[in-house]
């Protein structure tokens, strides 16, 4: 089945955390890394995040990550089964189209187009199929952990970039890959950047490591 090309991008600390304790947002990316991400955003048709990322981080997901930018960026897509993102979320600001995939039939959301599907149809395959039918040919998945894991589970990864920022997040936090999900050996390219390292994973090796993990659990 046709689906858009999928790029996953995430930033983690030296100790593997993508968020602080309780999902608190932590600035991990350097200025150069943010520019790199904005460059990818400017080239894709849609950016995808999970509901918790919107609730915790309140991102704009536009082309400058600030309020003054009114250039329409890519379509913003939120996976939000229960429809819990707040009405005043930045992604509902109308600067570019926002689409929310949900099973909730009872709430409306000003500033977004809701795509309602039954719970068992809200799979990565069906979501990507729906986006494809809307003319979306490439997407950037920006988190969080649950959504990234769903895309790997579905085998829907064409590029995977991890920026490892030169910081430690202490006091607990959210680890992207827990030790049982060992992905050692799947890096295809490692580049030194201002403020950290950019690791690009080989999607094929990642899938093999991921399936091995699933069998071992
Ligand atoms: N460092 C980074 O690069 C980076 C980037 C982004 C986010 N983050 C961090 O990641 C944290 C959030 O990660 P997370 O794992 O808690 O949550 P998440 O992946 O952002 O969102 C998970 C939520 O999305 C909804 N969802 C997921 N898959 C869905 C599907 N197929 N259909 C419909 N809804 C779906 C679910 O809502 P329902 O339960 O309501 O169904 C679920 O609760 C944040 O604290 C943020 O700071 C870090």
* Residues 17-52: b if buried by 16+ CB within 10 A, e if exposed: bbbbeebeebebbbeebbebbeebbeebbbbbbbbb
The helix/strand/coil state of 8 is: strand
Asked if 18 and 145 touch (Cβ cutoff 8 Å), the reply is yes
Mean pLDDT for the chain? 93
Ligand 1 atom index nearest CA of 83: 40
Q: What is the pLDDT of residue 197?
A: 97
Q: What is the pLDDT of residues 5-23, one digit of tens each?
A: 999 999 999 999 999 999 9
Distance 146 CA to ligand 1 centre (A): 5
Kindly tell me if the per-residue pLDDT of 66 is higher than 70: no
Q: What is the pLDDT of residue 64?
A: 77
For ligand 1, atom 5, the nearest C-alpha belongs to: 143
Q: Region 99-115: what's the mean pLDDT?
A: 97
Q: Region 122-144: what's the mean pLDDT?
A: 98
Query: Strands 17-19, 98-102: parallel, antiparallel or unpaired by DSSP?
Result: unpaired
Number of domains making up the chain: 1
Kindly tell me if the per-residue pLDDT of 135 is higher than 70: yes
CATH number reported for the structural domain that contains residue 167 in this entry: 3.40.430.10
Q: Region 158-183: what's the mean pLDDT?
A: 90
Q: Region 98-127: what's the mean pLDDT?
A: 97
99 forms bridges with which residues in the sheet?
A: 77, 113
For ligand 1, atom 38, the nearest C-alpha belongs to: 81
For ligand 1, atom 8, the nearest C-alpha belongs to: 144
Pocket of ligand 1 (CB under 6 A): 10-11, 18-19, 23, 25, 28, 49-53, 56-57, 79-82, 84, 101, 122, 142-147, 150, 174
Report whether the peptide linkage leading into residue 105 is cis, meaning its omega lies within 30 degrees of zero.
no
Distance 96 CA to ligand 1 centre (A): 21
Q: What is the pLDDT of residue 40?
A: 97
Confidence of residue 67 (pLDDT cuts 50, 70, 90): low
For residue 46, report the phi and psi dihedrals to the nearest 5 degrees. -155, 150
Candidates 115, 144, 164, 196: which one to mutate for ligand 1, based on the most atoms within 8 Å of Cβ?
Answer: 144
Of 42-56, 88-102, 137-151, 166-180, the least confident = 166-180
Q: What is the pLDDT of residue 179?
A: 73
**Domain limits at 190?**
5-216
Residue 89 token pair: 């979320």
Q: Which residue has the tokens 């968020």?
A: 19
């Amino acid at each position: 089945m046709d689906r858009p090309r999928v790029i996953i991008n995430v930033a983690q600390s030296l100790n593997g955390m993508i968020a602080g304790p309780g999902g608190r947002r932590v600035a991990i990316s350097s200025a150069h890394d943010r520019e790199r991400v904005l460059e990818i955003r400017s080239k894709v048709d849609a950016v995808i995040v999970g509901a918790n990322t919107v609730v915790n981080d309140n991102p704009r997901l536009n082309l400058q990550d600030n309020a003054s930018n009114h250039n329409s960026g890519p379509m913003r897509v939120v996976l939000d089964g229960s429809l819990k993102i707040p009405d005043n979320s930045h992604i509902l600001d109308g600067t570019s189209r926002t689409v929310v995939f949900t099973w909730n039939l009872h709430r409306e959301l000003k500033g977004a187009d809701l795509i309602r599907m039954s719970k068992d149809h809200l799979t990565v395959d069906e979501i990507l199929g729906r986006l494809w039918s809307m003319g979306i040919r490439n997407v950037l998945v920006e988190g969080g952990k649950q959504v990234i894991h769903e895309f790997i589970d579905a085998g829907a990864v064409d590029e995977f970039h991890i920026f490892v920022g030169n910081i430690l997040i202490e006091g607990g936090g959210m680890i992207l890959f827990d030790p049982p999900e060992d992905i050692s050996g799947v890096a295809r390219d490692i580049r030194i950047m201002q403020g950290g390292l950019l690791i690009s994973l080989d999607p094929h090796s990642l899938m093999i490591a991921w399936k091995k993990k699933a069998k071992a659990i």
